[in-house]
Structure 1
Amino acid sequence: MPRIQRILSFFFLIAVVLAALQCARRGSPTGGPKDNTPPVLLKAEPENLTTEFKAKKIRLYFDEYIKLEDIQNQLIVSPPLKYNPEVTPQGGARKYVEITLKDTLLENTTYTLNFGQGIVDNNEGNPNSFLTYVFSTGTYIDSLTVSGVVKDAFNNKADEFISVMLYEIDTAYNDSTVYNKPPNYITNTLDSTIIFQLKYLKAGKYAIFALKDESKNNVFDQNTDKIGFIDDTVSLPTDTVFLLNLFKEIPNYSLKTPNYAAANKIIFGYSGGNEKLDIEALTEIPDSISTLVVKDPEKDTLNYWFTPFEIDSIIFKVTNENLKKIDTFTVKTRKLVADSVMLTPSHRNTINFADEFYITSNIPIVAMDTTRIAIFNKDTIAVNFKAKLDTTKNRMSLDFEKEADEKYYLNLLPYFITDFFGATNDTINYRLSTGGYADFGSLRLNLAGEITYPIIVQLTDEKEKLYREIYVSEATALDFNTLKPGNYLIRIIFDSNSNGIWDTGNYLKKIQPERVIYYPSVIEMRANWEKIETFTILD
Structure 2
Amino acid sequence: MPNLKAQYSNLKNLIVVTALLLFFGCASIQTPQGGPKDTKPPKVLSMLPKNLTRNFNAKKITIEFDEYFNINDDFKEFSISPEQEKPPILKKRQKRLEITLQDTLEKNTTYTLNFGKAIADVNESNVVKNLSYVFSTGPEIDSLSLSGNVSSAVTGEPEKDVVVFIFPIERDTLFGKRKPSIYTLTDSAGTYRLNNLRKGSYKLYALKETGSDKIYQQSSDEIGFLKDPIVIDKNLDNINLKVFKELAPEFRVVDRKLNNDGSISLSFNQKLKNPKLTVADPPAADVGKRVYFNKTNDTAKVWVNDLSFDSLKLAIQDQGKVLQTVNFTRSKKDTYTRDLTIADNLSSNKLNPYQSLTLTFPFPITAADAAKVTLLEDSVQRTNFELVKDSIDFLKYYVKYPWKQKRTYDVKFGAGTFTAIFNAKNKEVNKTFKLETSDSYGTLTLKVVVPDTSKSYVVEFINEKKLPIKSSVVRKNTPIVFANYPAGKYFIRVIYDENKNGFWDTGNVKMGTQPEKIWYATKEMSLRANWEREEQLEIPLTPPSIQTSPVVPTQPTPPNSEITPGLREAPKPVKRN
The TM-score with structure 2 as length reference comes to 0.68
- Would the aligned equivalents of 1:166 and 1:184 in 2 still touch at CA under 8 Å? yes
In the TM superposition, residue 57 of structure 1 has moved relative to its aligned partner by: 4.0
Change (3 A) 1:52 1:400: farther
In the TM superposition, residue 483 of structure 1 has moved relative to its aligned partner by: 4.7
Does residue 48 (structure 1) correspond to residue 51 (structure 2)? The answer is yes
- Quick one: distance in 2 between partners of 1:80 and 1:280? 56
- What amino acid sits opposite 1:511 in the alignment? T
Name the counterpart of 1:513: 515
In the TM superposition, residue 394 of structure 1 has moved relative to its aligned partner by: 3.2
Name the counterpart of 1:346: 345
Among candidates 197, 213, 217, match of residue 209 of structure 2: 213
- Quick one: distance in 2 between partners of 1:143 and 1:493? 40
Among candidates 249, 274, 282, match of residue 272 of structure 2: 274
- Quick one: distance in 2 between partners of 1:184 and 1:308? 55
**What does the per-residue CA deviation read over 1:68-111, in whole Å, with 9 as the maximum and x for residues that have no partner?**
79897996746497999776659xx73x4444568887887644
Further displaced range: 161-170 or 384-393:
384-393
| Structure number with larger C-alpha Rg | 2
In the TM superposition, residue 196 of structure 1 has moved relative to its aligned partner by: 1.7
In the TM superposition, residue 280 of structure 1 has moved relative to its aligned partner by: 3.3
Query: What secondary structure is seen at the aligned counterpart in 2 of 1:421?
Result: helix
Name the counterpart of 1:222: 218
Name the counterpart of 1:419: 420
- Quick one: distance in 1 between partners of 2:102 and 2:425? 68
Change (3 A) 1:204 1:324: farther
- Would the aligned equivalents of 1:342 and 1:362 in 2 still touch at CA under 8 Å? yes
Change (3 A) 1:493 1:110: same
Name the counterpart of 2:397: 396
- What amino acid sits opposite 1:454 in the alignment? Y
In the TM superposition, residue 194 of structure 1 has moved relative to its aligned partner by: 0.9
In the TM superposition, residue 66 of structure 1 has moved relative to its aligned partner by: 6.6
- Quick one: distance in 2 between partners of 1:532 and 1:113? 57
Name the counterpart of 1:471: 472
- Quick one: distance in 2 between partners of 1:404 and 1:137? 83
In the TM superposition, residue 418 of structure 1 has moved relative to its aligned partner by: 3.8
The equivalences for 1:274-293 within 5 A come to 274=272, 276=275, 278-282=277-281, 292-293=289-290
Further displaced range: 225-234 or 375-384:
375-384
Name the counterpart of 2:151: 151
- Quick one: distance in 2 between partners of 1:75 and 1:347? 50
Name the counterpart of 1:491: 493
- What amino acid sits opposite 1:433 in the alignment? K
Further displaced range: 155-164 or 525-534:
525-534
- Quick one: distance in 2 between partners of 1:74 and 1:401? 65
Name the counterpart of 2:161: 161
Name the counterpart of 1:6: none
- Would the aligned equivalents of 1:74 and 1:117 in 2 still touch at CA under 8 Å? no
- Quick one: distance in 1 between partners of 2:135 and 2:269? 45
Further displaced range: 153-162 or 53-62:
53-62
In the TM superposition, residue 359 of structure 1 has moved relative to its aligned partner by: 2.3
RMSD: 4.8
Query: What secondary structure is seen at the aligned counterpart in 2 of 1:154?
Result: coil
Name the counterpart of 1:21: none
The equivalences for 1:247-262 within 5 A come to 247-251=244-248, 252-256=250-254, 258-262=256-260
Does residue 294 (structure 1) correspond to residue 297 (structure 2)? The answer is no
Does residue 196 (structure 1) correspond to residue 198 (structure 2)? The answer is no
Among candidates 499, 502, 505, match of residue 503 of structure 1: 505
Change (3 A) 1:110 1:434: farther
Name the counterpart of 2:239: 242
Name the counterpart of 1:456: 459
**What does the per-residue CA deviation read over 1:15-43, in whole Å, with 9 as the maximum and x for residues that have no partner?**
xxxxxxxxxxxxxxxxxxxx999987554
- What amino acid sits opposite 2:343 in the alignment? T
- Quick one: distance in 2 between partners of 1:420 and 1:337? 12
Query: What secondary structure is seen at the aligned counterpart in 2 of 1:179?
Result: coil
- Quick one: distance in 2 between partners of 1:83 and 1:357? 70
**What does the per-residue CA deviation read over 1:170-213, in whole Å, with 9 as the maximum and x for residues that have no partner?**
2x54xxx4221446554343452211222222222222221112
Gaps of 5+ in 1: 1-34
**What does the per-residue CA deviation read over 1:301-334, in whole Å, with 9 as the maximum and x for residues that have no partner?**
44343345555x3152636566655546362437
Change (3 A) 1:134 1:265: same
Change (3 A) 1:454 1:309: closer
Change (3 A) 1:472 1:179: same
**What does the per-residue CA deviation read over 1:232-280, in whole Å, with 9 as the maximum and x for residues that have no partner?**
2212226463232211122231135743212523334432321746443
Identity of aligned residues (%): 26
Name the counterpart of 2:556: none
Change (3 A) 1:417 1:535: same
Query: What secondary structure is seen at the aligned counterpart in 2 of 1:180?
Result: coil
**What does the per-residue CA deviation read over 1:97-152, in whole Å, with 9 as the maximum and x for residues that have no partner?**
44456888788764434567987999999998755421346664322222222111
Query: What secondary structure is seen at the aligned counterpart in 2 of 1:241?
Result: coil
